[in-house]
Structure 1
Amino acid sequence: MVSTAPTAKFGLDSDLIFELWPTSGIDEVQAVIRAVYRQVLGNPHIMESERLVNAESQLCDGSITVREFVRAVAKSDFYRARYFESCAPYRFIELNFKHLLGRAPLDQTEIAEHIRICIEQGYDAEIDSYINSDEYQNNFGDDTVPYYCGSSSQIGQKQVGYNRTLSLVRG
């Protein structure tokens, strides 16, 4: 099922939250697949040969959750080549936050922690650190496609995090 939410809830690009339900039909699943590619890959044109046919099939038949499909896309060769191998480490971390948590890093400490994970534990552990996080679980759970949720200021949030999110979403 695709549920709508007020634009003010999360900001700039869309007014839809994509979520799968046990009763979702094939059209809803296809909409979720497109939304995951758009969010995680940054909306590039995906050629048929670059699609994750096996993971898409597993999502369609209910063998994996949206969360696991997001993980598969983020660990794909396409994502790795586009954002890990061709970007500076700082930019890679920044884009992971944008694509997987829907926000920018809040401060340099957060960036340093993720660079450390990437260097010490590797690419897969870096991707898993976002998707396995409490923040991901609390914001998106197993059945919701990540969306930009850091574009509104929140009580206790540093202004720099809000500013970074706006610059990432717009730039």
Structure 2
Amino acid sequence: MVFGPASRLGVSLFDETPPIEWVPGLSAEGAESIIKAVYRQVLGNAYVMESERLPVPESQFKRGQLSVREFVRAVAKSDLYSSRFFSSCARYRATELNFRHLLGRAPIDLEEMRAHSTILDTQGFEADIDSYIDSDEYQTKFGENIVPYIRGYKTEACQNMVQFTNTFQLVRGASSSSLKGDLAGKSPKLNSLVIQSTPTAVVSPGSAGSTFRNPPGSSRSAVGVAASEGGKVYRIEVTSYRGNVVNRVSRFRRSNQVYLVPFDKLSQEYQRIHQQGGTIASITPV
């Protein structure tokens, strides 16, 4: 089961595309389509030049010497993968991307991320890759012959609502890229979210609010804000924040802002944001 209208969430292509699976007697064209699907999933939708491809594992797969799972392992352990998603990335960014690329979901919580960090510290990069691919979860969901795919937007792939909303922090539609198509780049996205275990708003990738990214240091709790008599405070996330335009040049531009507003001031703040050209990404109680 998928949460909400797949087209609005940006996952309709995932929902409508069946898993890609190797079957006995597959044609050369079919084998090539599997190879391309593995590159696309494991490398986070990144473009792979002909000179970057892995001719030896590809040849072994085509000759039946490697299963789909073992070809996935070869790509994930390659210099091509490690240079993009390990050696040049922050530790927890690398871990959250491994979850996206190899298990098709976001990590459940901080403890799951710490467990993989411990493997990296004690056993190294290749052992950490093995820990995903040799897991019971991988074997149950993909087995030997199915190309991993994004599945974290489905109810059966999530253990809680935080994990579901975190999937949309990692994947903003079927065409989103792990690095170049993401404002986070090589910086962690889920650190504060898994620590605070707070669901985030899921914004349609087609809306102006989809460009919102939580500013560094902004709290998700009502710190230093006087709540109304009802005790309710709301968090307003704003993106595309632009001041009144003078001679086609903005007076100021702040891409992302967060406001903690008492309920009785909500309408006033809403009007102020729109008068100054901001786009509200979400309004949530805190």
TM-score, normalised to structure 2, is 0.55
**Which residue of 2 is the match for residue 28 of structure 1?**
30
* d(CA) in 2 for partners of 1:45, 1:156: 29
Structure number with the higher helix fraction is 1
Summarize the Cα distance change of 1:156–1:99 in structure 2 as closer, same or farther, 3 Å threshold: closer
1:130/1:136 contact within 8 Å kept = yes
CA deviation vs aligned residue, 1:17-66 (integer Å, no higher than 9, x gap) = 11001121111110000000000001222112210100000110100100
Query: Structure 2: which amino acid aligns with 1:79?
Result: Y
2:123 aligned to 121, 124, 127, which one? 121
SS in 2 for 1:18: coil
| 1:135 partner letter | E
Please give the alpha-carbon distance, in whole angstroms, between the structure 2 residues aligned to 1:106 and 1:136.
Answer: 15
Contact 1:93 1:114 in 2 (8 A): yes
Aligned equivalent of 1:54, options 56, 73, 86:
56
Structure 2, gaps ≥5 residues long: 1-5, 173-181, 183-286
Determine the C-alpha separation between the residues in 1 that align with 2:53 and 2:45.
13
TM-score, length-scaled by structure 1: 0.90
After TM superposition, give the deviation of residue 155 of structure 1 in Å.
Answer: 8.8
Match of 1:159 in 2: 161
Structure 2 contact 158–164 (Cα < 8 Å) conserved? no
Q: Distance in 2 between matches of 1:108 and 1:132?
A: 21
Query: 1:140, 1:16 → 2: CA distance?
Result: 12
Among 77, 80, 88, which residue is 1:78 paired with? 80
Tell me the C-alpha RMSD between the 2 structures.
Answer: 1.8
1:1-171 alignment runs, 5 A limit: 12=11, 13-14=13-14, 15-154=17-156, 157-170=159-172, 171=182
Give secondary structure in 2 for the equivalent of 1:69. Answer: helix
- Rg (Cα) greater in structure: 2
Which runs of at least 4 in structure 1 moved beyond 4 Å after TM superposition? none
Report if the CA contact (8 A) 1:17-1:145 is conserved.
Answer: yes
Q: Which runs of 5+ in 1 are unaligned?
A: 1-7
**Contact 1:19 1:143 (C-alpha < 8 Å) held by counterparts:** yes
Q: Which has the higher contact order (CA 8 A, sep 6+)?
A: 1
CA distance in 2, matches of 1:98, 1:156: 13
CA contact (8 A) 1:153 1:159 kept: no
- Deviation, 1:165, is 1.1
